[in-house]
């Protein structure tokens, strides 16, 4: 099969959402650069996809909580042949803010915030120079509902949503498309790795990972800036966005709002 689509670099590609993206994009004709810690699982995935699609697949074992490994992937993006970045690698905490120490908190921030930011920046610079490219950041519906879960995890996903929306607004006219994907509860290994039981949720609340990625790719094809696969009524998302944008011009003023000039009640 000749290359028709370009090359997609996928982080967290050894399992779950990343592995399904690899499958779907290979079948669309993308060559792949797979990035994850587990080289053996990526080799097995690559072997299957090569037999099914005959695309070119490069494997880069890397731990994106390690600075030198992130730098290697930044350099790979700077090479110029990648046309699509799937910023998928991420983790959840075992326990809450109160049960985790500096090492655990530093690790989730490194993987969920620092690494995707650096990789998005590296990809964006390359794509802007070429005048084309696409970046997909895997966030979460918890970016919109921080009260429902651990605030550290949801905070990292809110960061990715914020980053994605800013990039979408600032880079579209430079030929770069940015999509934030907001999954709800999705059946992947992230639950077991963080000591949680996905089966504790009602069955109708947990999406299959294949369905999640297929829906995300529908949003990608439609060039949505934000894709929320579980949300049935798009008008509800548009209303939230319109309310937020209406608030924007009111958020920075020289004068203190009158409601803060009232004397405190004793």
What is the rounded CA–CA span in Å between residue 15 and residue 111?
Answer: 16
Least confident span in 45-49, 131-135, 205-209, 223-227: 205-209
Task: Give the pTM.
Answer: 0.91
Out of 3, 21, 130, 157, pick the active-site residue.
Answer: 157
What is the rounded CA–CA span in Å between residue 42 and residue 77?
Answer: 19
DSSP output for 156-206:
HHHHHHHHHHHHHHHHGGGTEEEEEE---SB-STHHHHTT--GGGS-GGG-
What is the CATH superfamily name and number for domain 7-260? Answer: NAD(P)-binding Rossmann-like Domain (3.40.50.720)
**Domain ranges for the chain:** 7-260
pLDDT (tens digit, 9 = 90+) per residue, 88-143? Answer: 999 888 888 898 999 999 999 999 999 999 999 999 999 999 999 999 999 999 99
pLDDT (tens digit, 9 = 90+) per residue, 31-82? Answer: 999 999 999 999 999 999 999 999 999 999 999 999 999 999 999 999 999 9
pLDDT (tens digit, 9 = 90+) per residue, 154-197? Answer: 999 999 999 999 999 999 999 999 999 999 887 676 646 655 66
> Among this protein's residues, is 250 annotated catalytic?
no
Out of 21, 153, 177, 196, pick the active-site residue.
Answer: 153
Quickly count: other Cβ atoms within 10 Å of residue 140's Cβ: 26
> Among this protein's residues, is 177 annotated catalytic?
no
Quickly count: other Cβ atoms within 10 Å of residue 200's Cβ: 9
């Amino acid at each position: 099969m000749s290359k028709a689509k370009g090359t997609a670099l996928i982080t967290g590609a050894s399992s779950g959402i990343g592995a399904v993206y690899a499958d779907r994009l290979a079948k669309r004709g993308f060559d792949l650069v797979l990035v994850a810690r587990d080289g053996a699982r990526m080799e097995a995935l690559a072997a299957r996809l090569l037999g099914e699609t005959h695309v070119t697949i490069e494997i880069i074992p890397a731990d994106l909580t390690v600075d030198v490994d992130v730098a290697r992937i930044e350099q790979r993006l700077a090479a110029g042949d990648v046309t699509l970045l799937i910023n998928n690698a991420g983790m959840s905490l075992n326990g809450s803010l109160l049960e985790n120490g500096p090492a655990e908190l530093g690790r989730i921030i490194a993987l969920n915030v620092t690494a995707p930011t650096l990789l998005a920046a590296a990809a964006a610079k390359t794509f802007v120079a070429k005048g084309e490219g696409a970046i997909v950041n895997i966030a979460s519906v918890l970016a919109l509902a921080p009260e429902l879960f651990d605030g550290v995890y949801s905070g990292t996903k809110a960061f990715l949503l914020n980053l994605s929306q800013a990039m979408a607004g600032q880079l579209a006219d430079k030929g770069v498309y940015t999509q934030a994907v907001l999954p709800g509860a999705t059946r992947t290994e992230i639950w077991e790795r963080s000591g949680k039981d996905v089966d504790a949720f009602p069955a109708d609340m947990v999406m299959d990972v294949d369905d999640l990625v297929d829906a995300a790719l529908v949003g990608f094809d439609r060039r949505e800036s934000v894709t929320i696969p579980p949300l049935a009524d798009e008008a509800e998302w548009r209303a939230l966005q319109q309310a937020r944008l209406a608030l924007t011009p009111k958020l920075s003023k020289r004068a203190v709002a009158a409601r803060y000039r009232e004397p405190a009640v004793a």
